[in-house]
């Protein structure tokens, strides 16, 4: 049985939160891990079902009211999660940036130059996202962002700032400075 990364995400969330319904997971992921691992919420209904079929989650059906399933971790599920956490990580991080694609193809298709507008949009978007991350940092008390997990926010922030630097330099026409600054930094 082959588990996808999303499977482990579900296992991990259940491990963090304890017994959860898909909707619980939906709410919890949308304001935490969902920021760096996006997926449709329907996965949170189908995926636990599959995991339950493999014995990695246990299901508890609520008999009254809204049909609703509560999933909890089995010993096998916890073992699978731990094994995954301890295993080497072959996959390099992936990104999909539509703006970067447009920049790449820009010269190909457009008679007038769309780059400045694109850069401005991106600057605004990354600034917005940085604000979101900072907000998450500030309310580090809640369950989704207890202390140990706050570290990942720093990675998100580093990435956002990197992108922001790039688009800002592009808008200002000072791309060459980026490389120089990186070199300086490496020397230190």
Partner DNA sequence: AAGCGCACCGTACGTTCCGTATGGTGTGAA
Partner DNA sequence: TTCACACCATACGGAACGTACGGTGCGCTT
List contacts with DNA (CB under 7 A): 2, 4, 6-7, 21-23, 27, 39-43, 45-47, 50, 64-69
Contact 47, 25 (CB under 8 A): no
Write the CB contacts of 3 (distance below 8 Å, at least 6 apart in sequence).
80, 84
Contact region with a second copy (CB under 8 A), list: 20-28, 42-50, 60-68, 84-92: 84-92
Residue 43 touches which of a second copy, DNA, none (Cβ within 5-8 Å per kind): DNA
The answer for residues whose C-beta is within 8 angstroms of residue 120's C-beta and 6 or more apart is 171
- What minimum distance in Å lies between the beta carbon of 9 and a second copy? 6
Is residue 69 exposed (0-12), middle (13-18) or buried (19+ Cβ within 10 Å)? middle
Chosen from a second copy, DNA, none, partner binding at 131 (C-beta under 5 to 8 Å by type):
none
Nearer to a second copy, 51 or 118 (CB): 118
Q: Does 78 bind a second copy (CB under 8 A)?
A: yes
Residue 165: which of DNA, a second copy, none does it interact with, CB under 5 to 8 A by kind? a second copy
Q: What is the dihedral of CA 99, 105, 106, 111, to 10 degrees?
A: -150
Residue 76, CA distances (Å) to 6, 56, 166 in order: 17, 5, 45
Cα dihedral 168, 173, 174, 175 sign: positive
Tell me 170's DSSP state.
H
114 lines the binding site for a second copy (CB under 8 A): yes
Positions in the binding site for a second copy (CB under 8 A): 5, 8-9, 11-12, 15-16, 32-33, 36-38, 78, 81-82, 84-86, 88-89, 91-112, 114, 117-118, 121-122, 125, 129, 148-149, 151-152, 154-155, 157-159, 161-163, 165-166, 170, 175, 178-179, 182, 185
């Amino acid at each position: 049985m082959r588990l996808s990364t999303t499977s482990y995400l579900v296992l991990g969330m259940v491990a963090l939160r304890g017994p959860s319904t898909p909707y619980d997971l939906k709410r919890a992921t949308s304001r935490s891990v969902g920021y760096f691992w996006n997926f449709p919420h329907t996965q949170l209904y189908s995926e636990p079902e599959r995991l339950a079929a493999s014995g990695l989650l246990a299901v508890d059906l609520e008999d009254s009211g809204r049909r609703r399933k509560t999933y909890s971790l089995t010993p096998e599920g916890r073992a699978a999660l731990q094994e995954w956490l301890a295993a080497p990580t072959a996959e390099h991080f992936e990104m999909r940036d539509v703006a970067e694609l447009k920049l790449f193809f820009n010269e190909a298709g457009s008679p007038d130059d769309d780059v400045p507008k694109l850069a401005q949009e991106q600057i605004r978007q990354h600034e917005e996202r940085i604000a979101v991350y900072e907000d998450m940092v500030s309310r580090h008390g809640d369950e989704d962002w207890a202390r140990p997990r706050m570290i990942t926010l720093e990675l998100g922030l580093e990435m956002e700032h990197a992108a922001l630097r790039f688009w800002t330099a592009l808008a200002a026409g000072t791309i060459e400075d980026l490389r120089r600054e990186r070199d300086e930094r490496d020397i230190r």
